[in-house]
A and B are shown apart, each in its own frame.
Chain A
Amino acid sequence: MLSKRLYPFFAIFMAGLLLFTGCAPKPVSTEPVKITIFVGFGAGSDPDSMAALNTIAAEYNASHKDIQIEFMFSTWEEHTSKFSTLLAGDLAPDLAFPIGIQGIAEFYDEWIDVSPYIQRDNYDTTDFYGPSLQLLNFNDKTIGLPLGVYPSVTFVNEDLFDAAKIAYPPKQYGDSTWTMQKLIEVGQQMTLDQNGNNAASPNFDPTKITQWGWGGWCGPFRTVPGKFGGNPLGMSADYKHAEMNTGGYLEGMQFLYDSIYTTHIRPSSLDEGSTFTGMDFTFESGKVAMFECFSWASYAFPNFTTAGNWNVAAVPTGPHGDVVSSVNADTFAIPAHSKHPDQAWQVATWLMQPEMQSRLCGIFGCIPSRKSLANDWINKMNTDYPNVDFQVFIDSIGYMDASPNNESWVPNYSKVWDATENAMSRILSGDSNNVQQVMDDLQAEAQGYLDEYWAAHP
C-alpha cells in the first residue's frame, strides 16, 4: 500500500507520462501502396510466364518498402470482361502490362497521358527505337514507354528450298529483286502437287496439292493494305469516311484471293482446317516453304525446328514500292480509374530499366525496344537457333508501320475490326470469289459503323 505521502508524486509522475506520450511526435502511418498489374491483354498468362512474373514481383517487393506490387492474371479470351468488370466494380488495376496497340485501342479513353511524367522526370528516351516511340504517341496523348517490338519477317523452310534447288529469298533489305511478284514466282515453283508438278507447270493439279509455296501473312487483314500503298485503317484521316473498296484494301484482298485460287501458292482456310488442324501456323507442318509473320511466333520456333531447317528473310517489296514489316508492340498503360498513378509510373519505369526489360522480353518473347539491347537479343536467340540470322529482325524494325499501326484506334473499333476480319474469312474460305463485291460489302458495313459512332459523338 502506497503511503499517502507519495500519492502526489505518483499523480505527477502519471500526468507527466501521459503528457509526454501525448505530445511525442506520432510516427506517420507508412502503409505501403499496393500496385496491381493486370496481365491479360497479350502475353504473360501461361504458367511459365506467371511464375517468372511472380518472381519479379517478389524481388521488387523485397527491395521496396513504400510500394508493393502484385500481378493479376486473366486469360486473353476473357480479358475485356475481366478488365471492364474490375473497372465497373471500382477495383481498377493500376497498370495494364504488357499491353499492345490493340489493347490500348480497346479501352482508348481509359489510359492516362504519361508525357507529363516523362517531362517531370526528364526520362531519357534516346535508347528506344524511334518508330517504337512513334507507335505510342497518339493524337492527344502518349500512353506508355516501348517495352518490346514484334516486327514481321519472311520465314523460310530451307529444306524445301534445298530439295527444289532454288535460291533462298534474300536476307538483306534493299534487294530490288525481292518483290511480291518474285514471291509469287518462287511460290509457284515451290508449290507441288502429288505428282511433283509445280504450280507453274501445265500439268499441275490444284486439287491435289501436297506442298505450298507460301503460307500467307499470319496477321489480321489490316497488316496487308500498307504493302499495296494503302492506309491500314482503311478510312480518311478524319475517321469519317471508309475507304475499303479501293486502293490498298482492294489490291491487298485481290492478292490474297489470287494467291489461293489463281496462283495456288497459299492454302485456303478449308485446307487449314483440315491439313493443318490445330497448328497455329501452317509453317509448322514442314509443307510450307515461305511464310510472313511477326516475331512473337518465336513461341512456335521449336515446332518450326521440328518441321525442318528454317531461316528468315526480308519482307518483299510491294507493287508500288512499299516495304512494310507489320509490327505489334508491347508497352504498359495506366488506367484513369487507378488510385495511384504516380506509384504506377514508378513501377513502370522500374520495369523498363534495361536489365528488367531484357528479362521481361525473355519472358514475353519480344525484341527489346532499346537499341543497346539488340546484340544481346541476337546472341540469346542464336544459342537456341544457331543457324538463323536474327539480324533480319532488327533490320525489319526500320520498316515497321509505326503510324498508323495496323492495330491503331478507329471509331467503333471492335465492330470495324470484326467486319474486316469477316471479309477476309469470306475470301479465305471460298465463300465468295468476287473480291470487289466482298470489299463493297465491307465498305458499306464499315461506313455504317463510322456513321453510328459519329452520330453518338458529334
Chain B
Amino acid sequence: MKKVAKPMSLRRRESLWGYIFISPWIIGFILFTVGPMIASMVFSFADYNIVSAPTNFGLSNYIKLFTNDPDFWRSLGITAKYAIIAIPLNLVFGFALAFLLNQKVPGLAFWRTVFYIPSVLAGVAVAILWGLIFNPKFGILNWFLGIFGINGPGWLSSPNWAVPALILMSLWSVGGGMIIYLSGLQSIPTTFYEAAQLDGANSWQQFFRITVPLMSPVIFYNLIVGIIGTFQYFTEVYVLTSGLTGGVGGPAKSTLFYNVYLYSNAFRYMNMGYASALAWVLFIIVLLLTLLVFRSSAIWVYYEGELQNK
C-alpha cells in the first residue's frame, strides 16, 4: 500500500459508507438488543424467578449445569443428534427439490407453490395434522411402508421413534429452504451454461463445475442458519409433545430438546436464572460451531464479487 494521502482517504471513505449503511442495525442493536442480552447474562449468575428481583449472585447456576444436571446432557445429546441428521438432510433435500423445480417441468408455478405450502402452515394446525401422517394405524407413512411389507412403528408416541418422526417432519417444510436455493439457481446467469455447453460439457459437469460452486454461498447460508436454528428447535416439539397431561419432554423424555428444557426452566420451574445460564452455554456452543464453518468457508465458498480483505 502506497502511503499517499489519496488512497488513505478513499479507504476511510469506504469504511465510512460501510458504517452508514449498516447503521440501522447498529442503532437497533443499541436500542433494543444489547440491553436485554446483557440483562440475561446478569440473570445467568443469579437466582431469578421473574416475579421478584434477582438475588444470590454467583456461579452456582453454571456449576450445577456442568456437574449436577443429567437433563442438561440429555437435552444437549438429543439436540445434537437431531442436528447432525436433520441439517445435512435438509440441505440436500432442499437443494435437490429446488434443482428439480428449476427444470423445464410443466406447471412450474404450481409445483413450487405446492411444496411451499407446508412452510406456510402455522404451528397449531400443523401439530394436529401431523397426527395423521404419523398415525401408526391409519397414517400415510405407515400405509406407505405397509406397501413394502414393513410394519411401521409408533412414531410420536414411541420413545424410540419420536425424534426420527420430528426429523421427517422437518423435511416436510423444506419448502422454505427450497425457495432460497431457487433464488440462488435463478441468479446464475444462463450464459455460463451456454458457454459450457458450447465447450462440450455434459449435465454432470455443468452441475458440479458451475451450479454447485456458484451455489456455495447459498449452501453456506443454509448451513449456518441450519446450525443456529436447529439448536434452538422448539415450537413444533413443544406443541406436539407437551399438553394437559404428560410431562414436558415427550414419551419418556425422548424429545427433551435443549430449548424445550430451557423453556421449562424459564417458565415452568420459574428458574429464569438457570435458563439464562443454559442459554449462554448454548450461545457459546453455536458460536464456536459457526466460527468453525466460517473458517472452513475460505476453502469451499466462492463469491463472484468478493472483496479482497474479508
Q: Is B135 part of the contact surface with A, judged by Cβ < 8 Å?
A: yes
- Find out whether the CB atom of A419 lies under 8 angstroms from the CB atom of B247: yes
Q: Decide: A422 near B252, CB < 8 A? Known: A278-B131, A414-B264, A429-B159.
A: yes
Q: Number of B residues contacting the other chain (C-beta, 8 Å)?
A: 32
Residues of A close to B246: CB separation below 8 A:
421-422, 424-425
- Find out whether the CB atom of B136 lies under 8 angstroms from the CB atom of A273: yes
- Find out whether the CB atom of B264 lies under 8 angstroms from the CB atom of A273: no
- Find out whether the CB atom of B252 lies under 8 angstroms from the CB atom of A272: no
Q: From residue 310 to 351 of chain A, which have CB atoms closer than 8 A to chain B?
A: 337
- Find out whether the CB atom of B136 lies under 8 angstroms from the CB atom of A84: no
**Which B-chain residue is minimally distant from A269 (CB atoms)?**
B157
Residues of B close to A107: CB separation below 8 A:
51
Q: From residue 126 to 147 of chain B, which have CB atoms closer than 8 A to chain A?
A: 128, 131-132, 135-139
Q: Is B281 part of the contact surface with A, judged by Cβ < 8 Å?
A: no
Q: What per-residue 1/0 map shows which CB atoms of A443-455 lie under 8 Å from chain B?
A: 0000000000000
> Which one, B139, B156, B158, B249, contacts A422 given CB within 8 A?
B249
- Find out whether the CB atom of B136 lies under 8 angstroms from the CB atom of A274: yes
> Which one, B47, B136, B139, B269, contacts A412 given CB within 8 A?
B269
Q: Decide: A270 near B159, CB < 8 A? Known: A415-B269, A431-B251.
A: no
A109 CA / B132 CA spacing, docked (Å): 43
> Which one, B51, B128, B132, B136, contacts A270 given CB within 8 A?
B136
Q: What per-residue 1/0 map shows which CB atoms of B95-137 lie under 8 Å from chain A?
A: 0000000000000000000000000000000001001100111
Residues of A close to B253: CB separation below 8 A:
422
A420 CA / B247 CA spacing, docked (Å): 8
Residues of A close to B252: CB separation below 8 A:
422, 425-426, 429, 431
- Find out whether the CB atom of A414 lies under 8 angstroms from the CB atom of B135: no
Q: What per-residue 1/0 map shows which CB atoms of B254-275 lie under 8 Å from chain A?
A: 0000000000101111100000
Q: Is A417 part of the contact surface with B, judged by Cβ < 8 Å?
A: yes
Q: Is B50 part of the contact surface with A, judged by Cβ < 8 Å?
A: yes
- Find out whether the CB atom of A87 lies under 8 angstroms from the CB atom of B50: yes
Q: Is B248 part of the contact surface with A, judged by Cβ < 8 Å?
A: yes
**Which A-chain residue is minimally distant from B152 (CB atoms)?**
A274
Q: Is B245 part of the contact surface with A, judged by Cβ < 8 Å?
A: yes
Main secondary structure of the interface of A (DSSP, over half): helix
Residues of A close to B251: CB separation below 8 A:
269, 425, 429, 431
Q: Is A80 part of the contact surface with B, judged by Cβ < 8 Å?
A: yes
- Find out whether the CB atom of A84 lies under 8 angstroms from the CB atom of B159: no
Q: What per-residue 1/0 map shows which CB atoms of B59-78 lie under 8 Å from chain A?
A: 00000000000000000000
Residues of A close to B269: CB separation below 8 A:
412, 414-415
Q: Is A59 part of the contact surface with B, judged by Cβ < 8 Å?
A: no
- Find out whether the CB atom of B132 lies under 8 angstroms from the CB atom of A277: yes
B137 CB to closest chain A CB, in angstroms? 4
**Chain A residues near B (Cβ < 8 Å):** 77, 80-81, 84-85, 87-88, 106-107, 109-110, 218-220, 269-270, 272-275, 277-278, 337, 412, 414-415, 417-422, 424-426, 429, 431, 456
Contacts A/B (CB < 8 Å), 29 sampled: A81-B266, A84-B270, A85-B50, A87-B51, A88-B51, A106-B270, A109-B51, A110-B51, A270-B157, A270-B158, A273-B136, A273-B154, A273-B155, A273-B158, A274-B135, A274-B137, A277-B135, A278-B128, A278-B131, A414-B269, A418-B248, A418-B249, A419-B247, A422-B246, A422-B247, A422-B252, A425-B252, A429-B157, A429-B158
